[in-house]
Amino acid sequence: MILTLAGGVGAARMLAGLMQVVPHDELTAVVNVGDDLELHGLRISPDLDTITYTLAGAINPETGWGLVDESWQARTMLEQYGGVSWFGLGDRDLGTHLYRTQRLSEGADLATVTAEITEAWGLGVRLLPVTCDALRTRVTLAADDPSTSEFPCLSAGSEISFQEYFVQRHHGVPVSSIRFAGAENARPTEGVLEAIATATTIVIAPSNPLVSIDPVLVVPGVNDAVISRRDQVVAVSPIVAGSALKGPADRLMRELGHEPTVVGVARIYRDIAATLVIDEADVASAAAVEAEGMRCVVTPTVMDTPERAAALARVVIGAQS
């Protein structure tokens, strides 16, 4: 069984690549829930949904999130009321959130609801939210953020939710720290520690190390379990030539004291992963990565076509030490 530690878009593409080269029932992903939010009374799990929709072939190809063939009638009405509309909820996507919220209110846990949702989409891949308990990524601003027509001014030192940072403020404000509220009391979802212990390979997807992978590792027991499998852990760098392909990983790394390079990524992962896969664009840094104590595998990592995602998946599976 191949286990993937997963955030959102980058992990979804990695998993879509793995699906092409590994039987689906041999794939498990442990997914970040630190990005989850409650909005309009609904429970929204962006990373779980991005992965589900992507693997189902139903992702909106233009945005990389949400559903294809989407309509926006609810949002238009919400805007007519002057309501909160910065978090884009399409009508079809709302069906997912309505279902999840209803089932949680009936007492089902997030893992059960996730299994029901993925089964309805016909996914053979197993998605495990890393925890069914509340764990929320919170971001502290390093500078004042002036108000816009969409949101009020915030002063440096203010703490906001991940989605307020990421979506509402378009990750456009510098950050001084990140915190995972509730992490100390979060329990790993049933099956997570066993999956880590028994996987033939553990892939750390090219997700943001600080806000996608760290909130997976921070759940008590997970980091230690991964460390004990270090030889089987293959991380894929989300940084290519000093930049994130998507999102603010490079800026966040710099703001929080990390070098926004594959060497910086190696320093983050070297204790838990024996191998780092980096892009050909960073071939000159391979020796520096190895100097950090990791095996370094150089290959094209940009998954801009299904074929390239499959090729990367093959390399990742073959890369463990």
Residue ranges in contact with its own copies by CB under 8 A: 38-43, 70-71, 73-78, 80-84, 89-99, 101-103, 105, 116-117, 120
Nearer to its own copies (CB atom), residue 90 or residue 248: 90
Q: In the bound complex, what is the minimum distance in angstroms from residue 37's beta carbon to its own copies? A: 12
Q: In the bound complex, what is the minimum distance in angstroms from residue 320's beta carbon to its own copies? A: 37
Nearer to its own copies (CB atom), residue 91 or residue 133: 91
- Give the 3-state DSSP-derived string for the chain, with helices as H, strands as E and coil as C: CEEEEECCHHHHHHHHHHHHHCCHHHEEEEECCCCCEEECCEEECHHHHHHHHHHCCCECCCCCCCECCCCCHHHHHHHHCCCCCCCCCCHHHHHHHHHHHHHHHCCCCHHHHHHHHHHHCCCCCEEEECECCCCEEEEEECCCECCCCCCCCECCCCEEEHHHHHHHCCCCCCEEEEEEECHHHCCECCCHHHHHHHCCEEEECCCCHHHHHHHHHCCCCHHHHHHCCHHHEEEECCEECCEECCCCHHHHHHHCCCCCCHHHHHHHHCCCCCEEEECHHHHHHHHHHHHCCCEEEECCCCCCCHHHHHHHHHHHHHCCC
Phi, psi of 241 (to 5 degrees): 55, 40
Q: In the bound complex, what is the minimum distance in angstroms from residue 61's beta carbon to its own copies? A: 18
Quick one: angle between helices 9-21 and 306-318, nearest 10? 80
Nearer to its own copies (CB atom), residue 89 or residue 154: 89
Q: In the bound complex, what is the minimum distance in angstroms from residue 191's beta carbon to its own copies? A: 22
Nearer to its own copies (CB atom), residue 119 or residue 194: 119
Q: In the bound complex, what is the minimum distance in angstroms from residue 318's beta carbon to its own copies? A: 37
Q: In the bound complex, what is the minimum distance in angstroms from residue 35's beta carbon to its own copies? A: 18
Nearer to its own copies (CB atom), residue 91 or residue 159: 91
Nearer to its own copies (CB atom), residue 84 or residue 197: 84
Quick one: angle between helices 110-120 and 91-105, nearest 10? 140
Q: In the bound complex, what is the minimum distance in angstroms from residue 172's beta carbon to its own copies? A: 24
Q: In the bound complex, what is the minimum distance in angstroms from residue 43's beta carbon to its own copies? A: 7
Go through the chain and tell me how many residues it has.
321
Nearer to its own copies (CB atom), residue 52 or residue 232: 52
- With beta carbons less than 8 A apart as the criterion, state whether 280 and 300 touch: yes
To 5 degrees, how large is the angle CA 311–CA 263–CA 273? Answer: 65
Nearer to its own copies (CB atom), residue 78 or residue 288: 78
Q: In the bound complex, what is the minimum distance in angstroms from residue 126's beta carbon to its own copies? A: 18
- With beta carbons less than 8 A apart as the criterion, state whether 302 and 257 touch: no
Nearer to its own copies (CB atom), residue 95 or residue 293: 95
